[in-house]
């Protein structure tokens, strides 16, 4: 296997899972063991030495040294510095401080729209038809459907809850404003499905919520930017959405689009019952007179 050159160009803002994924097909069995350890412990990588990571993966120190070079780094210390840079670069404040001068950029709005279009196109390539089919099978057959997404994932989770609730009953948004997460999770059981949204700068709570759901026997459909993350390894289905933004903020256009598609398919698959539910919802709106027509 050829070793990557020491001067290989690396985008330090690229998520570590994405960097590993881009080279995964060329990895040896030892490299893949080390990859799994790194992805699972990515939030704490700066606390580990190269020797400790090698021991956790069950590979030799020379194998670990070759692995970091294959990623494009001269050595482990340069890799660890890159990890620090990646976590810093996830912050909008960091992006603001390192933004390209406006004079060097394309017209702002045009660039913004082009970036979103690329994200949608990339999602079309990354989401496999069999994964969509599996996700829809789980969502359709769920006894109850639970939705969760914190911070940057909340908007997509809220949207999923609104649309999925049109298609079927028994859809619950776990992270409600009342902060009753523990009370809500107590009702999760076998036969249920958790639809989880996982975007970068995630909270520490999300992996714990996924663990609780799995322990209760629920299946997990994960919508994420990180297909090789430790959280992804806990899901039955992983749907990947690029979140690259044209400004200091990430874009979730692809995620919203995918949620919209899933909800539409849920309605189409149970047209009669979904229509009855949607008709009842409209009747209640008329009784409440809450919508401005």
For 1-30, the DSSP string reads: -PPPPTT----TTS-HHHHHHHHGGG--HH
Determine how many CB atoms are found less than 10 A away from the CB of residue 157: 22
Percent over 90 (pLDDT), the chain:
39
**Nearest-5° angle of CA 13, CA 18, CA 19?**
75
Calpha distance 188→232 (Å, rounded) = 20
Residue 198's DSSP bridge partners are: 224
Q: Which residue has the tokens 């090789």?
A: 228
50 vs 293, more confident = 50
Mean pLDDT of the 144-159 span: 94
CB 282, CB 289: distance < 8 Å: no
pLDDT at residue 7 is higher than 50:
no
The structure tokens listed for 121 are 């196109």
Instruction: Give the DSSP H or E segment for 220.
Output: strand 219-224
pLDDT at residue 192 is higher than 90:
yes
pLDDT at residue 105 is higher than 60:
no
Nearest to 18 by CA among 45, 1, 42, 2: 42
Domain locations along the chain:
16-89, 112-288
The structure tokens listed for 26 are 């060329």
- The CATH code for residues 16-89 is 1.10.10.10
| Number of alpha helices (DSSP H) and beta strands (DSSP E) in the chain | 13, 5
CA distances from 210 to 165, 219, 230, 287 (A): 21, 9, 11, 38
pLDDT averaged over the chain?
83
- Name which of 20-34, 121-135, 172-186 the model is least confident about: 172-186
Calpha distance 27→129 (Å, rounded) = 26
Mean pLDDT of the 75-102 span: 67
At residue 8, the pLDDT reads 46
Superfamily of domain 112-288 in the CATH hierarchy: Glucose-6-phosphate isomerase like protein; domain 1 (3.40.50.10490)
3-state percent helix, strand, coil for the chain, nearest multiple of 5: 60, 10, 35
At residue 235, the pLDDT reads 93
At residue 44, the pLDDT reads 66
The model's confidence at residue 122, banded by pLDDT at 50, 70 and 90, is: confident
Residue 194's DSSP bridge partners are: 146, 220
């Amino acid at each position: 296997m050829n070793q990557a050159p020491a001067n290989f160009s690396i985008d330090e803002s690229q998520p570590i899972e994405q960097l590993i994924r881009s080279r995964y097909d060329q990895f040896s069995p030892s490299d893949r063991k080390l990859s799994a350890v790194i992805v699972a412990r990515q939030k704490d990588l700066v606390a580990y030495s190269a020797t400790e990571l090698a021991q956790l993966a069950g590979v030799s120190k020379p194998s670990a040294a070759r692995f970091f070079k294959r990623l494009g780094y001269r050595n482990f210390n340069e890799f660890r510095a890159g990890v620090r840079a990646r976590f810093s670069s996830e912050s909008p404040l960091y992006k603001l401080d390192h933004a390209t001068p406006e004079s060097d950029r394309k017209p702002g709005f045009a660039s913004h729209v082009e970036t979103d279009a690329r994200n949608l196109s990339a999602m079309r390539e990354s989401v496999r038809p069999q994964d969509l089919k599996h996700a829809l099978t789980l969502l359709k057959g769920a006894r109850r459907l639970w939705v969760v997404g914190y911070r940057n994932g909340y908007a997509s989770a809220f949207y999923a809850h609104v649309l999925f609730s049109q298609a079927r009953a028994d859809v619950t948004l776990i992270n409600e404003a009342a902060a009753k997460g523990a009370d809500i999770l107590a009702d999760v059981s076998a036969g249920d499905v958790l639809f989880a949204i996982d975007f970068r700068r995630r909270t520490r709570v999300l992996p714990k919520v996924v663990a609780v759901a799995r322990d209760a026997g629920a299946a997990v459909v994960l919508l994420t930017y990180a297909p090789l993350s430790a959280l992804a390894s806990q899901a039955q289905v992983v749907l990947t959405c690029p979140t690259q933004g044209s400004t200091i903020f990430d874009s979730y256009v692809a995620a919203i689009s995918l949620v919209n598609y899933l909800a539409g398919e849920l309605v189409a698959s149970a047209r009669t019952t979904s229509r009855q539910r949607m008709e009842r919802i409209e009747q209640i709106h008329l009784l409440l007179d809450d919508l401005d027509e």
